[in-house]
Amino acid sequence: SKRFNSWKCKRIMSSIIEFAKKTLINNRRSNYTLPTNTKLYPAQWNWDSAFIALGYSNFNLDYSFKEIETLISGQWDDGMIPHILFHIKDLNYTPNYKAWNCGRKISSSGITQPPILASILRIIIERKKFSKEEIKKYQTLILKIKKYLEWFIRYRDPKRTGLISILHPWESGYDNSPLWDKPMSKIKIESKLKYKRKDNKIVEKSQRPLKIDYDRYVTIKNHLRRLNYDPKKLYYKSKFNVVDVGFNSLFLKALKDLDFLLKFIGKSSSSLKKYILLNESKLIKLFNSKKMKFKNKDLKNDTSIEIPSITNFFMLFSDLKNKSVNKNLIKSLKKYCKNENYLFPSINSRHKSFEEKRYWRGPVWINCNWIIYQGLKNKDKSFAEMIRKKTINLVEKKKFREYYSCKSGLGMGAKNFSWSAALYLDFVLNRS
Ligand code: GLC
């Protein structure tokens, strides 16, 4: 019967693998993929697309590169790759392309998202064991990513402090995280705001950001628009300017992965290498190993933010050279999730800001699990493997939802969520 059970298990798994592929294909439009097939997100999103491209690489490399190329085709002249590309002029999303009023050939938002794309591209290229000649075929792509990452250094750290800023909570990708509560509380809501939300009609209201959050998101956005999204001005003038540990961790890893790729096309850059060292030394200082606490910096209000968020542990993904910092990060991460049924809550469930069902204020997100897993697998194999298995089990039980409760495993938000399907595939098909 043991043999029968393992046969049954394998069959279930292979049917879910097929379902994951189908989910991605169904969400696919011409050369890019929507985050879900519901009306919630009718456009192309920056980091979603990177995760989706990784998912495709497990069964259709052509789709994978099409996804990446379409995302990069929205790059601005200054180098930024926007957080949303509106390929179709759909008015069903708020704020829609008219409300942003920017982009060049392709309408877009005027802000960006975590540049995980560089790291995803490296993983694909390494896994497929591309030869130097094959990598050269992607030279243009790699150079555009270089321009993107250099944009961050130039415009998001104009004083070369070694840490880059985000200028809107949406840039982090974890929109209504308690990390932003303090800086957001300082933002005076514009009078006579006019916008109509649709998200909370599609998904249960109690699982989405509050009205006051949206009022502030739109207020910040309108202000950026009034500044014509001029990157030289935004850093100094935005109503929101935060150095986030998670974002800087993803950025540092992106720089390292870009540096790796540049070698193959003979375009190594010494100024990039220098920034990597600076960024790493400054990032480490945001983690207090003794107290096991992280510090985000609210530059706008000259104060710090200390919230136990899973995104702080993205530092593990950066592959820091300092072994004792890594050891302490792992120790704190184990403490962070001890007693939890499902990993990882986006906010420590013992913290006062934790909300079991509200979006980025507590629920489990598959992309966070994947990022942490990637960071752990070369540092603590058994812990990493435990996360891989738990994530696979949760997704197999509840399918490809947008997020899940860490208490009950309840699946929430959108159904047929692309990155949950893509990263499930990646977890199942790439055991390291
Ligand atoms: C939400 C999420 C963001 C994601 C987007 C599309 O805005 O917070 O991380 O990229 O939806 O899925």
Q: What is the DSSP string of 141-162?
A: HHHHHHHHHHHHHHHHSTT--S
Which of 40, 175, 360 is the pocket-test mutation for ligand 1 (most atoms within 8 Å of CB)?
175
Residues known to be catalytic: 175, 402
At residue 144's C-alpha, the angle toward residues 138 and 148, to 5°, is 140
Residue from 138, 143, 131 nearest 53 by CA: 138
Contact present, 400 and 417 (Cβ < 8 Å)? yes
- Output the six-digit token pair for 234: 């935004």
Residue of 45, 46, 117 to mutate, ligand 1, most atoms within 8 A of C-beta? 45
Give the residue, by CA position, lying nearest to ligand 1 atom 4: 173
Please write the tens of the pLDDT for every residue from 186-208: 999 999 999 999 999 999 999 99
Q: What was the pLDDT predicted at 89?
A: 86
CA distances from 158 to 93, 161, 254 (A): 33, 8, 19
Atom 12 of ligand 1, residue of closest alpha carbon: 35
pLDDT value of position 92 = 85
Query: Does 417 contact ligand 1 (Cβ within 6 A)?
Result: no
The three state secondary structure string of 60-123 is CHHHHHHHHHHHHCCCCCCCCCCCEEECCCCCCCCCCHHHHCEECCCEECCCCCCCCHHHHHHH
pLDDT (tens place) for every residue of the chain, 432 residues total: 777 888 888 888 889 999 999 999 999 999 999 999 888 999 999 999 999 999 999 999 999 999 999 999 999 999 999 999 999 988 889 999 999 999 888 999 999 999 999 999 999 999 999 999 999 999 999 999 999 999 999 999 999 999 999 999 999 999 999 999 999 999 999 999 999 999 999 999 999 999 999 999 999 999 999 999 999 999 999 999 999 999 999 999 999 999 999 999 999 999 999 999 999 999 999 999 999 999 999 999 999 999 999 999 999 999 999 999 999 999 999 999 998 999 999 999 999 999 999 999 999 999 999 999 999 999 999 999 999 999 999 999 999 999 999 999 999 999 999 999 999 999 999 986
How deeply is 37 buried, as exposed, middle or buried, from its count of CB atoms within 10 A (0-12, 13-18, 19+)?
middle
Question: What pLDDT, on a 0 to 100 scale, did the predictor assign at position 8?
Answer: 80
* Nearest ligand 1 atom, CA 175: 8
143 in Cβ contact with 149 (< 8 Å):
no
- Asked if residue 402 has its Cβ within 6 Å of ligand 1, the reply is no
**Rg of the chain on CA atoms, in Å:** 20
Q: What's residue 431's pLDDT?
A: 81
Closest atom of ligand 1 to 418 CA is 12
Give the pLDDT of residue 372. 98
